[in-house]
């Protein structure tokens, strides 16, 4: 019999990693006037998938961690990292 909490934490970590990878490598950056930028990506879809599979708390945590790491490692979006997590 598997430990349910360890199983959910492992899937949360996998969802965080998957949302980071999708955000980082499958995005289209769009330059905006004034030096800002935005992007089209499927990272949020992975967050929603995690919430549907794991429930709100674990799925939301996986999405928040993955997207925050993506923001922290991208110089354009680093200033939005605290807003992404909280």
Over residues 23-59, the pLDDT tens digits come to: 999 989 888 898 778 888 898 899 999 999 999 899 9
- pLDDT of 76 reads 82
Domain range enclosing 59: 4-85
Calculate mean pLDDT across residues 52-71: 93
> What tokens were used for 69?
């790491």
- pLDDT of 1 reads 55
Domain count, the chain: 1
Helix (H) or strand (E) holding 44, with range, is: helix 43-54
Is the distance from CB of 27 to CB of 41 less than 8 angstroms?
yes
Instruction: Identify the sign of the CA torsion 66, 68, 71, 77.
Output: positive
pTM of the model: 0.84
Rounded Cα distance, 57 and 61, in Å: 6
Tell which residue, 45, 57, 76, has the closest CA to residue 12. Answer: 57
Mean pLDDT of the chain: 90
């Amino acid at each position: 019999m598997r430990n349910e909490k360890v199983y959910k934490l492992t899937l949360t970590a996998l969802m965080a990693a998957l949302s980071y990878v999708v955000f980082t490598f499958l995005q289209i950056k769009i330059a905006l006037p004034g030096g800002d930028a935005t992007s089209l990506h499927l990272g949020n879809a992975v967050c929603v998938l995690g919430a549907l599979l794991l429930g709100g708390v674990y799925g939301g945590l996986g999405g928040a961690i993955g997207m925050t790491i993506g923001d922290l490692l991208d110089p354009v979006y680093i200033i939005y990292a605290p807003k992404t997590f909280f």
